[in-house]
Structure 1
Amino acid sequence: MLGLEYFSFSALFSPLFLAFMLIVTAAYFVVIGPLSERFAGAEPVSLSKKISFVCGMFILYLAQGGPISLLGHMMFTFHMTTMALSYLVAPPLLMMGIPAWLWRAILKVNPFKKLGFFAKPVVAAVVFNGLFSFYHFPAVHDYVMLHFALHRLYYLVLFIAAILMWWTLINPLPEKDRASGLTKIGFIFLNMVLLTPACGLIIFSTKPMYATYSDPNIWAQAMGYCVSGDPSKLLQAFGGPTFFNIMSTKVDQQVGGIVMKFIQEFIFASMLGRVFFQWYKTENKEDDDIAPAEYGEGSLNRA
């Protein structure tokens, strides 16, 4: 399917990365289980949080180490799918899966204390969307794809920026969730606007922008980081990325931009509904708290 049958198990499933993700997941369950008593204010973690964390790890693995990651080196549409899964889907699931008492312990670690400024709504939105857009400048994208260490570093920084961006909407610490419903709604629209130019340029480009998906030699070099062996053999066997692409390079690029924008719109629209619901509950709760004070005991006594 889509040419995956031509690649080995190692290329498709990245065993080392899979092992790393399994170790992190196991560590999570050990920390929230047997080791939880070592943390101040530790409480039992609900099943929903555990499921959220596991789903987040699974999605992140699929995007960065599974077959979708390999397909992302052959089709731009899948590349944008991996980006959406890695930075718009996995982070909120992971954040919701980590209990508040564990977050408090994590944030006491010195390096994380210095990230407070970057968690401010406008700063976080500008930094994340700026890094994402900058990465998709053709020259930057092709350069990063050809340098493995830089590629991993950039993805790590982008993941941290995604966590900070999501912090305003999914703040796992009730005592620090000071953003009002109106602020969160404005923040959602700000993110939707900031990502639009990059997606628009990709969608409406009249020609292929990325050598990684149009130049067979560049493509083979980039594939060398996820497929073992001599990259030149890939050229001999397949001739280039078009062998695997069910669309023209231009159309694939346009579809990739549409996929990214659609996933972002869907996720933030869902988040908008969640914010509205929480805002409605908060307003109603405040009204219920005020009512007894105004019409409760005093009225009864007068009666």
Structure 2
Amino acid sequence: MWEQLSSTFSFSALWSPGIMVAAIVIAGFYLLLTGPWKNSFKDSAPIPLYKKILFLIGVFLFYLGLGGPLSLMGHLLLSIHMTEMALVYLVAPPLMIVGTPAWLLRPLLNIKVIRKIFKFFTFPIISLLLFNGLFSFYHIPEIFDYLMVHYTAHNFYKAALILTAFAMWWPLVCPIPEYDTLSGVKKLGYIFADGVLLTPACALIIFATTPLYATYTDPTIWANAMGYCVPTGTTVSPELFDQFKPLGIMEDQQLGGIIMKIIQELSYGTALGYIFFQWARREREKDAEELQSPEFRISEI
């Protein structure tokens, strides 16, 4: 299939140089801000290498899903599209949040207007409902097919999904102690609610008995949607439709829902592990502080 893609579509269509450059710039500024320029920030400190790696992986996954070959292939197969969405909204945001040090974010959040907006959209109930609501509406067939052939509307919707995805993940992996307001038990409940709210969209796709999306069944609509993946002025012929269908329409559709559900479970399961180890570390630190406190020493005497 790769040979067909590379012979049919240009380098620009496959690799989206503009988005590639944007990802490189973001990664470069991050490395500068957390490296040579970190002394410009109050209370800055070196961050562990693993956090830098997590952030850079998150940036790479954003590029892969929004501008790399995976983005192009997502217009060919629904299963690839769902993989792309899972990486962009369920995997990349928590990696980037965990990889961002608190001292880098505080100056931005100290701006009153930004702080108020930020607190509103990261309030747990609001962030849960906004992200999962937008995600579920996106997969309603009429909305999905409309967005796939309306470039501007699709970009605005994707931007809203990205922002709400970060807001949804923030209460779980918040790197700033004073903003980390949910207890361990509440975070467990938050993840459970997140999984419940995301399930209907996956179930709709997995258990549908007929093809849901005209984008993947109608050659004319498919060609129109593909037109936004190639350089301006390039047209895609509907006759190419059958060349990129290694799976049957129903098999591709069901596989897409299954992939989304599996990646969701893996990302939420990883979040559970992260929350547990963070909680255990805080408890150990608390116990150590109590052992060293004057009150404890007096009681021992």
In the other structure, the counterpart of 2:275 is: 275
CA gap of 1:234–1:51, structure 2 versus 1, over 3 A, is same
Hey, what does 1:261 align to over in structure 2? 261
Counterparts of 1:112 and 1:141 in 2: how far apart (Å)?
A: 33
C-alpha contact (below 8 Å) 2:215/2:225 kept by paired residues: yes
Number of matched pairs: 296
TM-score, with structure 1 as normaliser: 0.91
Residue 201 (str. 1) matches residue 216 (str. 2): no
**Which shifted more, 284-293 or 219-228?**
284-293
Counting only pairs closer than 5 Å after superposition, residues 109-120 of structure 1 correspond to structure 2 as 109=111, 110-111=113-114, 113-120=116-123
Tell me whether 1:140 sits opposite 2:143 in the alignment: yes
Once superposed, which parts of structure 1, at least 4 consecutive aligned residues long, lie more than 4 Å away?
Answer: 287-295
Shift of 1:36: 2.7
SS where residue 243 of structure 1 aligns?
Answer: helix
Deviates more, 1:256-265 or 1:172-181: 172-181
Equivalent-residue separation in structure 2 for 1:84 and 1:145 (angstroms): 17
Q: d(CA) in 2 for partners of 1:257 and 1:126?
A: 21
Shift of 1:188: 0.6
Gaps of 5+ in 1: none
What corresponds to 2:96 in structure 1?
94
**Equivalent-residue separation in structure 2 for 1:46 and 1:266 (angstroms):** 24
Query: Partner residue of 2:14?
Result: 12
Contact residue 222 and residue 238 of structure 2 kept, 8 A? no
TM-score, length of structure 2 as denominator length: 0.92
Structure 2 residue 45 is the aligned partner of structure 1 residue 43: yes
2:191 corresponds to which of 179, 188, 192: 188
Separation in 2, partners of 1:32, 1:195: 34
Corresponding residue of 1:72: 74
2:156 paired residue number = 153
Structure 2 matches for 1:12-31, cutoff 5 A?
12-31=14-33
Q: Check if 1:220 corresponds to 2:220.
A: no
CA offset digits 1:79-101 (Å, max 9, x no partner): 00110000111111111222111
Q: Which residue of 2 aligns with 1:248?
A: 248
> Does structure 1 conserve the Cα–Cα contact (< 8 Å) formed by 2:215 and 2:222?
yes
Aligned residue for 2:107?
Answer: 105
* Contact 2:19/2:67 (8 A) holds in 1: yes
Query: What is the alpha-carbon root mean square deviation over aligned residues?
Result: 1.9
The correspondence for 2:126, drawn from 119, 123, 144, is: 123
- Of residues 263-272 and 43-52 in structure 1, the stretch that sits farther from structure 2 once superposed is 43-52
Matched, 1:85 2:113: no
Partner of 2:300: 299
1:207-254: CA deviation from partner (whole Å, max 9, x where unpaired): 1111111111111011001113443x4224x1x2x4212111111111
